Amino acid sequence: MKPGLDIGHRAEFARKVPSHETVPRLFEDSELLHKMPDVYATAYMVGFMEWACCEHLAPFYDQGECSLGIQVDMSHTAPTVPGMTVTVTSEITAIEGRFVSFKVVARDDAGQIGEGMHRRALVDTDTFAAKAAGRSAGSIPA
């Protein structure tokens, strides 16, 4: 990781919620979910929070480095309908070697919709890809 990232460093990342990121569209094969309200799915909100933290870290990656999520603890406290803009604010709360922790808050046009913490691990992309390939089907001992 390049120098310059410190505890307290903040970033914001925003995007409009598309209609396909709602609860009824989360799993095509779930009849139960298809009957639920047409609101932003928690899974997408958490994914967006992770993405925002990736964007926060990206300017500090060394060549061949990326980060992977290793821990999430989020609450989703208010509904968001498609077309609204969600903004995630991330703040660095800890840097421990290759591990970076964030406080994250998500807001839509009407107010806060979620918050929590997220932790990411900085990894060498080639080394990690090799490790993942080693776990592919057929290569894992029974």
Using a 10 angstrom Cβ sphere, with 0-12 exposed, 13-18 middle and 19 or more buried, the burial of residue 26 is: middle
Give the number of other Cβ atoms within 10 Å of residue 23's Cβ.
Answer: 20
Active site residue 42: yes
Catalytic-role residue among 21, 50, 89, 118: 50
Q: CA-based angle 51:58:66, to the nearest 5?
A: 85
Catalytic-role residue among 42, 55, 91, 93: 42
Active site residue 50: yes
Catalytic-role residue among 22, 76, 80, 115: 76
**Residue that the structure tokens 């569209």 belong to:** 25
Please give the Cα distance from 106 to 48 (Å, whole number).
9
Q: CA-based angle 113:15:12, to the nearest 5?
A: 75
Active site residue 65: no
Give catalytic residue positions.
42, 50, 76
